[in-house]
Chains A and B, each alone.
Chain A
Amino acid sequence: MKVSKSWLKELVDKVSIKEVERLLPLRTIGTKEITEDFIELDMKGYNRADLLSMRGIAKEVAAITGSDLVGREPLTYEVYSNKIPTTPVKVEDEKLCPVYCIAKIEGLKSGPSKSEWIKKLNDSGMRTVNNIADITNLIMLEFGQPMHSFDAEKITDETLVVRLASQGETLQTLDGKNRKLDESDLLIADSEKPLGIAGVMGGKESETSDTTTIIFLEAAIFDPKSIRKSVQRHSLPSEASKRFQHGLTKTNLLKALSAAIKMYEELGGKLTAITLTGDLEDKIKKITLTQEKVNELIGIDISPKVIEDSLKSLGFILVSKGDSLGAWEVSVPYWRLDIDIEEDLIEEVARMFGYEKIPAKELKGEIPQKIDQSLFEFIYKLKSALAEAGLTEVQTYSFSSTKVLDALGFDESNKDAIVKIANPISSETEYLREFIWPNLVEVIEKNMKQDFTDIAIFEIGKVYLSQKKGSPKESYRLAMALMNGTDNPIEELIHIVKNTLSVIPNVSEESLDSNHEISRSTRNDKNDGLPIEKGELMKELETLFHPKRYANIKTGDKIIGGVAEVHPRFLNNFGIEKRVAILEISLDSLI
């Protein structure tokens, strides 16, 4: 949300912008960017719907700076409801559209907006279209209530219908794109055709133009979840849909509608019909708050007076409970949709008191019983031993790159057995790794290009193994790779392993080399080789490793991994002409 500085000054009396800039991040919300014209609030993921409007921000600013608001809030709809006829509106699903209001305004003449409006729009990061369209945006910015204007002449039977789309319906949206609609898209339609995706984007056909004189002005509340789904499906995030998703209030909607009608009237328009559907009253939430709980959760003593003043300045109404000084029933102002429980109120008190003034208090209470930490101790010990032996620890992605998958012999026929990401960022993040060593070969390739001639690296991390049933299994692995410029790096690797793996309990030195001349036939045995749970995926094993330079690593009788020279054919995929030896063992059975 970009907060226009000059607009803020219109709404808050004698406010010092410097003070606002200083206090907003301390009391309310971080700022993303500050310029001469605006302060941009960091709203990502924030739950303060009220801060998506200039009037909401004005209230907050008044509270944190101790200023007053300028003037009175606009009146609500009652002014109109008696004397003016209604216009046909049909809401088919009240759950998805609890409030739907349409005002018919005639006698408009499109033209450029006045410079004051354009400045407000520009400060807020929007552009001017024409006076008719600009009013809807200005009202949205001021009240947080999105508005939409339809060209009345384009609407068959002058009837507006809020309904779900039926399969196969299409709509050309304002951006000129043809959208395929889905049964879960909520639509605004007339008696014949869709006019817009509710809360997401209007249709091209019913858009107001320079010749428009009569509009249907829409102000509505839609179900945030339904809006969110449509936004995601059509990838159409907008200023309006953001506000629908954060939640709107009925009181505010009516104020916004009244203010909008007034603005159109100032342009020479005349309100000739209005229909308001749904329950138009906000429910006021009441929450019990005690001073005891405030002080317990913040950790300092805050007096009942300070608590009361803080909350009152933000628009909360406090009524003392019984005779006690430190207990209240607190009514939440209608615009604070984010406040539900006592802890929410305590956060308000803490904010107004100043988070930065909360002192540090040492932890009390007993220290819980020790649980087994051997996994972490073991991994760190192993890493240290390997670094001590001269290896550099690397960390590579949990994914297998397309290059690695190709080199491992995966293609469309067998890739399916790997744990797959449903919505990968790119093909490089589509499959989770089942082995670490191929990633280390990639690291060697990369560093050889940087003229490294001797590379000794390791990684300890997880692999992700698909299971016949249930969730994939995660397993801790150690992988090592050595390119030492010789034609037989496995010899040195085995020595390094023998010297360092002494930190691993139960791995015997003998097991490392007793078995290194494995015949071709046994190498194909499923139980031989790296701990491959799905042997069929690695049936090309002989293409991956040197036919002779290969050994198992065992703990007791159990094979937990292997050490091998990588087959030059495999390395050729990475443009590596030197010999490379690798090791990969499962750490699960060692911990």
Chain B
Amino acid sequence: MEEKIKNISEEYSNKIKQAKSLKELDESFLALFGKKGEITLLPKEFSKLSKVELQRVGPLFNQIKAELEKEIGDRRYEIHEESYKNLVNENIDLTSVKLKTREGHLHPLTIFEKKIADLFGKLGFQQYDGPEIETDLNNFELLNIPPDHPSRDMWDTLYIRNKEPASPAKRGEQGTRNKLLLRTHATASQPRILKECKPPIRMMVIGRCFRYENLDPRHEHTFDQFDLIYVDRGLNMANLQFLSEYFLKAMLGEDIKVRLSPGYYPFTEPSAHIFGTCVFCKGSGCKICGETGELELAGAGMIHPKVLKNCGIDPEVYSGIAWGVGPGRMAMLKYGINDLRLFNSGDLKFLQGLKNESK
């Protein structure tokens, strides 16, 4: 038996060393470790051995097995590295390039976000480019969400690590304010907009937001949000109803019925959740809408006077509407997508399989 093992070792060591290509190496690998490989089959013969023999053969076998594995790995690395040496002989020749014809595709979020932006663009809303890395101040505090407020539980937050540990002076309130985080909602840009623009304001923010979420078909840590910020004299909840109808009819069809319902956001008062007729059952009740015939589609409210004041706008003179929706959710409803994770998956079957009907 020992003889046999040594022979295998010798034979294949040589083969491996002499292998010139990955293909040859793969052949040796299969001959050793494949289903019917020599190393794979050998232990079956061990039952014939006496205990004393086995005590010698066992360790030897394991040693040889490990050596051969390593030799193959090393040789594979060498063959790779040798082939890389030839790369310097390769060039670029742009004289005779064949261009393939392919069907291109925009990402569904791009399509929906463009549609949303165009829709509200017609009403004079303009896009604002807000940062994704925000301060606690903008993401929370100015929006009437003080530190340690229970409503912070609505946004599980990913924080940016501070390079230098905070000095004792920097801890506490001031420290919290300047703490950097990945914005948990597009509303984080609202304080910037309110401070930078003079009313009347009609702005929109579209972009990536982040939350501390474990992934499953209904939860993503990285997702897009759309937010409207509208400030003028005398805005009211009836305007909010108008915006909701305007948007949802355009996105999901003229026959959708849209209604507001009570909700809570710290940065709006009154706050509203926006419901529309379920797109799947058209209102008769189905599994997806929980037999209610309706789906919650967006969130909104009248901007809280504290938020306006925090950002230098007089709430006695002006009122505001904040209105937000998840473009991903719209796309899911429109295309019947049931897994939120697909958007960031790079899965080409998914991305190329969708009909770009709304282009």
Chain A residues at the B interface, C-beta cutoff of 8 Å: 25-30, 44-48, 224-225, 228-229, 245-246, 296-300, 341, 343-344, 346-347, 350-351, 355-356, 358-368, 370-371, 373, 375-376, 380, 383-384, 386-399, 419-425, 429, 439-440, 442-443, 446-447, 450, 452, 454-457, 461-462, 464, 466, 471-472, 474, 484, 487-488, 490-492, 494-496, 499, 513, 516-517, 546-549, 551, 567-569, 572
Contact = CB atoms under 8 A, between A and B. Distances in A.
29 contacts: A27-B262, A28-B262, A45-B151, A298-B237, A344-B269, A351-B262, A355-B260, A361-B236, A361-B238, A362-B239, A362-B242, A363-B242, A370-B126, A383-B106, A393-B104, A397-B344, A398-B222, A421-B159, A422-B158, A425-B212, A425-B214, A457-B346, A472-B180, A474-B132, A488-B92, A491-B97, A496-B99, A551-B92, A569-B81
Given A341-B269, A368-B202, A398-B222, A572 B158 contact: no
Nearest to B243: A363
B273 interface: yes
A351 B97 CA distance: 67
Interface of A is mostly: mixed
B91 interface: yes
B21 interface: no
Interface stretch (B48-56, B62-70, B277-285, B347-355): B347-355
A446 B346 contact: yes
B169 interface: no
A376 B118 CA distance: 11
Interface of B: 80-81, 83-84, 87-88, 90-94, 97-107, 109-110, 114, 117, 123-124, 126-127, 129, 131-133, 147-148, 150-151, 153-154, 158-163, 180, 182, 197, 200-202, 208, 210, 212-214, 221-222, 230, 232-234, 236-245, 259-264, 266, 269-273, 296, 302, 304-306, 319, 343-349, 351-352
Interface of B is mostly: mixed
Contacts of A392: 104-105, 348, 351-352
B161 to A, nearest CB: 4
Given A343-B304, A420-B161, A29 B236 contact: no
Contacts of A47: 150-151, 264, 266
A38 to B, nearest CB: 16
B264 to A, nearest CB: 5
Contacts of B106: 383-384, 387, 393
A423 B212 contact: yes
Contacts of A421: 158-161, 182
B261 A26 contact: yes
A356 B161 contact: no
B351 A549 contact: no
Given A383-B110, A491-B97, A350 B92 contact: no
Given A46-B264, A454-B100, A397 B161 contact: no
B132 A394 contact: no
A364 B237 CA distance: 13
Contacts of A246: 150
Nearest to A361: B238
Contacts of B127: 373, 375-376
A169 B110 CA distance: 55
Most central of A344, A355, A384 by chain B CB within 10 Å: A355
A539 to B, nearest CB: 18
A484 B158 CA distance: 38
B313 to A, nearest CB: 14
A302 B260 CA distance: 17
Given A424-B158, A425-B213, A491-B93, A396 B133 contact: no
A258 B352 CA distance: 67
Nearest to B199: A368
A27 B272 CA distance: 11
A360 B238 contact: yes
A297 B163 CA distance: 46
A297 B87 contact: no
A45 B154 contact: yes
Given A360-B241, A373-B127, A386 B97 contact: no
Nearest to A355: B260
B83 A387 contact: no
B63 to A, nearest CB: 28
Contacts of B270: 297-298, 343, 346-347, 350-351
A356 B273 CA distance: 11
A380 B110 contact: yes
Contacts of A442: 346
Contact of A380 (B114, B148, B352): B114
B151 A393 contact: no
Given A246-B150, A548-B92, A347 B271 contact: yes
A47 B126 CA distance: 32
B234 A548 contact: no
B103 to A, nearest CB: 6
Contacts of A429: 158, 221
B132 A245 contact: no
Nearest to A29: B262
A377 to B, nearest CB: 9
B104 A368 contact: no
Nearest to A394: B346
Nearest to B131: A474
Given A341-B306, A351-B262, A393-B110, 18 more contacts: A30-B296, A296-B234, A299-B237, A343-B270, A363-B230, A390-B103, A390-B104, A391-B104, A393-B104, A393-B107, A394-B351, A425-B213, A447-B346, A464-B133, A471-B133, A491-B93, A567-B84, A567-B87
A498 to B, nearest CB: 9
A246 to B, nearest CB: 6
Contacts of A425: 158, 212-214, 221
A257 B163 CA distance: 50
Contacts of B180: 471-472
Contact of B102 (A447, A456, A548): A456
Given A27-B262, A393-B351, A549-B91, A343 B305 contact: yes
Nearest to B127: A376
Given A25-B261, A47-B266, A394-B107, A368 B238 contact: no
A488 B262 contact: no
Closest 4 CB pairs of A and B: A299-B238, A299-B236, A390-B102, A45-B154
A146 B86 CA distance: 75
A187 to B, nearest CB: 19
A562 to B, nearest CB: 13
Contacts of B123: 363, 367
Contacts of B233: 365
A547 B126 CA distance: 46
A228 B202 contact: no
Contact of A548 (B87, B271, B349): B87
Contacts of B94: 491, 494-495, 513
A488 B93 CA distance: 9
Nearest to B83: A568
A548 B222 contact: no
A356 B259 contact: yes
B92 A513 contact: yes
Given A298-B236, A376-B127, A421-B161, A45 B302 contact: no
B102 A391 contact: yes
B305 A341 contact: yes
B104 A569 contact: no
B87 A447 contact: no
B349 A450 contact: yes
B107 A395 contact: yes
A45 B299 CA distance: 14
Given A347-B269, A421-B160, A425-B212, A491 B92 contact: yes
B105 A393 contact: yes
Contacts of B237: 297-299, 350, 355, 358
B139 to A, nearest CB: 13
